Amino acid sequence: TNMAAAMERPTALPPGVSMELLPGKALGPFNLGSPISNVIAYMRKRGMEYRRIQVQFNTSNPYRMDIGLVLSHLGLRLRFCSYSQRLKIIDVFQPMKIRMSYDSRPLSGPDTTPTFSLVSRVLGPTFPGRNNTRKRMHMLQYPGVCALFPLKKASSQRAEMTRESLEQADPVAERFFVHVGKSCAERLQLPPLETSCLYFETVVVRINTGIRFAKRKRSLLFQRHTLQHVMSILGMPDQVYVKDTDSMRIHRSPLSTKGDKGCFPLQDSRDYFLNYFQMGMDVLICGTTHKVSKIILHTNMPATRNFNRYNRCNYQIMVNSEERAEINSGSKSPASIISSPSPSSSSSSRGGHGKPGGGGGGGGNNGKQQSKKSRLISFNTSWSEIQRILGPCGRPMVYGGSPGLVDYPTPTSSETKANKRDKAQTGPMILGGASELNRLNPFKPTYFYAYEGIIFEVLPNDYIASIILFSI
């Protein structure tokens, strides 16, 4: 199933949006390989031209299909890789709505009909195209761009058509594809990232220890590295958020102090978050020791409250057999260890190509590439697969819904046995269920499951929205 979330803008569309075609590279301001966050940020900045955007994705398995940004008023669809969330292909499905040009020569638009003869004249000579008899389309392929022309029923039965017959019929192009590579019939690739680019950098997670950045070859360790060490590796944060409320304070001792947001609270005892939106992570600094206390890594899943606030973090968790036994034996309820589900000031309690060989849901093969003693958990691993790796978990804490409005997850057999032993706690804990913000939340709630040193924020579709790392 596909789900569309539209962002309306009440401004009027200017007559004719002009875009220059760069085959294999870009169409207008949209460069192949750009992260989805950069593209949406540009659209928001140019609101008059992009007044309506639809986000299309697969709700049951978000890694099975590409993420699409559809601009129906421009006849444009931008398809992003569901894994890296980079722009993979530009689909112009209504060429007459865009003033498209190549080398300053008009190719399509409200007053320019993209006929076969015009496309051949503007883009130049190329090899003979081929017919798609099933879709009754003729594909005229150029390096980095493909034009599709409709075929009549009689001509579509023939495998090939001569260029002369196409020029005589002179059909109008119904679609253009801008892509990387020589042909769109081959497997589409993404342009390689520059060596100095740190987007989608692999972050290796060691539970109860810290994280390590693969490209930078630097680490962040819990209760050891200070604020200065964090900033020397990651630079200045995009935002600093001082914890002024603590929803879980009643479950811990001693009680936390209350304060206001501000800059670095070096003379204060309140903990504070360093928000790195471009890296998809938050770092919690202890207000007393000013050392790393927690790290939150985000997956930037569509149809979640923090979508497009953070970039996707490409984390990978290596777990061996000894760690699995230790983590499983120490699993507990999130209420006893989580302090705040999210660190951004956007709300009162929340903040903002190759695939790895392990993990589940997104299309990896766990056992074939990893040894029996070591398993890999990545951002696209499903929650069901994580439980098979780490073992069963306790009852979840529910965030983002109200009592009576929340779809509680069906308890497993181990959870049912635990509930029978602990009769005082028979259901999941609700965090912020009665707030007006959660009642207006259009998205479904998320569930927090805790193991020793790590908490998984699980979506209703069985995939991960974020992970919270800490040490005990």
The amino acid at 70: V
Q: What does the mean pLDDT of the chain come to?
A: 79
Q: Exposed, middle or buried by CB within 10 Å (0-12, 13-18, 19+), for 74? A: buried
What is d(CA 41, CA 310) in angstroms, rounded to the nearest whole number? 12
| pLDDT value, residue 428 | 54
Q: pTM of the predicted model, to two decimals?
A: 0.78
| pLDDT value, residue 427 | 52
Q: At 6, give phi and psi (nearest 5°).
A: -105, 140
Q: Give the model confidence (pLDDT) of 31-66 as tens digits.
A: 999 999 999 999 988 876 787 889 999 999 999 999
What is d(CA 263, CA 243) in angstroms, rounded to the nearest whole number? 11
Q: Give the model confidence (pLDDT) of 68-82 as tens digits.
A: 999 998 999 999 999
329 confidence band (pLDDT: 50, 70, 90): low
Q: Give the model confidence (pLDDT) of 183-225 as tens digits.
A: 887 778 899 998 889 999 999 999 999 999 999 999 999 999 9
Q: Give the model confidence (pLDDT) of 404-458 as tens digits.
A: 444 445 555 555 454 455 444 445 555 554 454 455 556 778 999 999 999 999 9
| pLDDT value, residue 377 | 96
- Average pLDDT rounded to a whole number, residues 253-280: 67
354 confidence band (pLDDT: 50, 70, 90): very low
398 confidence band (pLDDT: 50, 70, 90): confident
